[in-house]
Amino acid sequence: MSINPSWPFSFIGGSDGRLDRDVGNIGGAMAIVQRLIVVLLLLCSSIYAFADDIPARKRYSMVTVDGNFFDGQEMCSLFQVGTGRVWIFNEAIPACQWNGDNQPVNQTWYCPSGSSRLTVGGVEICRFPTSCPAPQVRNQTTGACEDPPAVCQAGRILLTGPFSDTDGDGSIPSSSCISGCRATLTGGGAPQINCSIGGAGSVGICGYVYPGNYVDTGSNCSDGETAPPKEPPANKPPCPACDCMESGGSFGQVQGVDVCLPKGTPGTLPVQTTPPPKVTETKPPATPENPDPDPVKTIEPQPTVTVIPNPGGGEPTVKEETTNPDGSTTTVTSGMGEYCKNNATGATCKSTGTGNGGSGGGDFKGSCATGFTCSGDGVNCAIARAAYQHRCDDVNELKEFEPAAEEGRRILMGEEDPEIKSWLNKEGDHKRTINLADEVKESGEYQFAAQCISDVQFSIGGHSVTVPFSKLCPYFEMIGYILLAAAYLYALRIVGIW
């Protein structure tokens, strides 16, 4: 008798085949079971091969504190707030402890949605049934599929300033997350003025920015933390008016010439300046519960100041706009003199050149002949000196043409020219004899290197014809003398001598 395990029925054996058929049935059933086991193993292995595991996280809670916390110390700090007690989290118990008092803490395991919690080798894990699509990877904390972490390199500059103060607290963050890399601010300092042209070129707008660079620390971070915006944009074009305002002046045109002059000068742009807020820090007194309290920062926004020139040349107008805590705006308008009496040390009064700003004011005077003098603010004097030098350079260039311009004016107005009069009065009584033959010659003051035209020959109907210009030249020469004499007489009449 033989058994064929590859087929459930076999008819090899006894005369009726019953024994062989029964044995064949048993062998075939075992083969089917073996095949099912292999299929199940393959399915399971494929599932595990494409599954993602992340660590399960402990989550804490207390009856008297609302919410669930992954950070036990954060939860303990919210327990009995206002009592002056500082509770410390003890993970081993777990409990919140203070001065020997233990408050029990509930601890559970947490797995993100879509995963199941398993214990593997005594370690609690969260298993996801599938892996993240390439090139994404599984976040080990949240379980979300994310792009792989950035490759950070310590020491490289990730972002170059200056930067704007978006929240108005008078500072920018000391560290930030840029392109997935943690960066710290280096080279920062006091705020710097930054100006632009707004309102279709009708007003200059000046604010403040902070210098510095954000340098890579070499560690990764979450993209949820953003760096302050960069100001001004990297593609900011050259702006002479902006440079002028950043130096403390205002840009405009005076007598058709581009100039940089003190704010409020007629012909220049109004300048609107928003200074950084006034920031003060005070340290609260120490207490037994808090022996080293953190300083308390007070931020006081400063008013936006706009200096508006007087078209008539009078005193400029100063407009102050203050934003109140409720969001409303208070506007105060005054003359430059009155404003500077109350704000003698302000940047606006330091650069006006009106002399009304205490030690910050200044006066300048002078002419191209006597020179330039200035007293007061150094920036204001530098601006005024540049405008003075620019104007005097133009005046000096024009002086070179004054003699020719004066002679042309006399001729056009028909006035007597002393040089011409002296030349004509050589013989006295306004007479001078001119020998045209001596004056009109081939060399000398009035030379004419001319010669007679050669005879011209041409053919008509096979006959040669000659035009005898050589015979006509003596007559042309005589006509030339007559025309020249007439021209001299007419010239004398133009200058008013004859």
Note the helical H segments in 182-280. Answer: 240-246
Q: Are residues 166 and 180 in the same domain?
A: yes
Q: Are residues 154 and 101 in the same domain?
A: no
Q: Are residues 118 and 168 in the same domain?
A: no
Total Cβ atoms within 10 A of residue 13: 17
Task: Provide the terminal-to-terminal Cα distance of the chain, rounded to the nearest Å.
Answer: 160
Share in percent of the chain as helix, strand, coil (round to 5): 25, 30, 45
Whether 349 and 306 have beta carbons less than 8 Å apart is answered as: no
pLDDT one-digit tens code per residue, 426-464: 666 666 666 655 555 555 555 555 677 777 787 776 777
Is the residue at 477 inside a domain?
yes
Final residue in a domain of this structure, among 218, 237, 256: 237
| Phi–psi pair at 244, nearest 5 degrees | -65, -50
Q: Are residues 191 and 232 in the same domain?
A: yes
pLDDT of residue 353: 38
Placement of tokens 């299929």 in the chain = 39
- Cβ-proximal residues to 344 (8 Å cutoff; 6+ apart), any chain: 357, 358, 359, 360
Total Cβ atoms within 10 A of residue 275: 18
Q: Are residues 66 and 86 in the same domain?
A: yes
Q: Are residues 154 and 231 in the same domain?
A: yes
d(CA 58, CA 72): 9
Six-digit token string for 390: 């620019």
User: Which has the closest alpha carbon to 190: 175, 170, 176, 206?
Assistant: 170
Whether 5 and 27 have beta carbons less than 8 Å apart is answered as: yes
pLDDT of residue 247: 84
Final residue in a domain of this structure, among 183, 216, 237: 237
Is the residue at 183 inside a domain?
yes
Tens of pLDDT, residue by residue, the chain (498 residues): 444 444 443 334 444 544 444 444 555 556 665 666 544 544 444 444 457 899 999 999 999 999 999 999 999 999 988 888 999 999 999 999 999 999 999 999 999 999 999 999 999 999 999 999 988 999 988 999 988 888 899 999 998 888 888 777 788 888 888 888 999 999 888 888 888 888 776 888 888 888 899 999 999 887 666 667 776 655 567 888 888 888 888 888 766 778 888 888 888 889 999 888 888 888 888 888 888 888 888 888 889 999 998 887 788 899 999 888 788 889 999 988 888 888 877 777 765 433 333 333 445 556 676 666 665 554 455 566 666 777 777 777 777 777 777 777 666 555 666 666 666 666 666 666 666 555 555 555 555 556 777 777 877 767 777 877 777 788 787 888 888 888 877 777 765 555
Is the residue at 377 inside a domain?
no
Q: Are residues 139 and 163 in the same domain?
A: no
Q: Are residues 167 and 134 in the same domain?
A: no
Give the number of domains in the chain: 3
> Which amino acid makes up residue 118?
L
pLDDT of residue 6: 42
pLDDT one-digit tens code per residue, 136-185: 999 988 999 988 888 899 999 998 888 888 777 788 888 888 888 999 99
Domain span including residue 452: 434-494
Six-digit token string for 396: 């000096």
pLDDT of residue 441: 55
> Kind and range of the H or E element at 96?
strand 95-98
Q: Are residues 135 and 169 in the same domain?
A: no
Which DSSP category does 259 fall into?
Answer: E
d(CA 68, CA 75): 8
d(CA 393, CA 457): 64
Q: Are residues 131 and 67 in the same domain?
A: yes
Q: Are residues 138 and 220 in the same domain?
A: no
Q: Are residues 189 and 133 in the same domain?
A: no
Is the residue at 80 inside a domain?
yes
Is the residue at 473 inside a domain?
yes
Whether 138 and 112 have beta carbons less than 8 Å apart is answered as: no
Is the residue at 332 inside a domain?
no
pTM: 0.45
d(CA 126, CA 56): 5
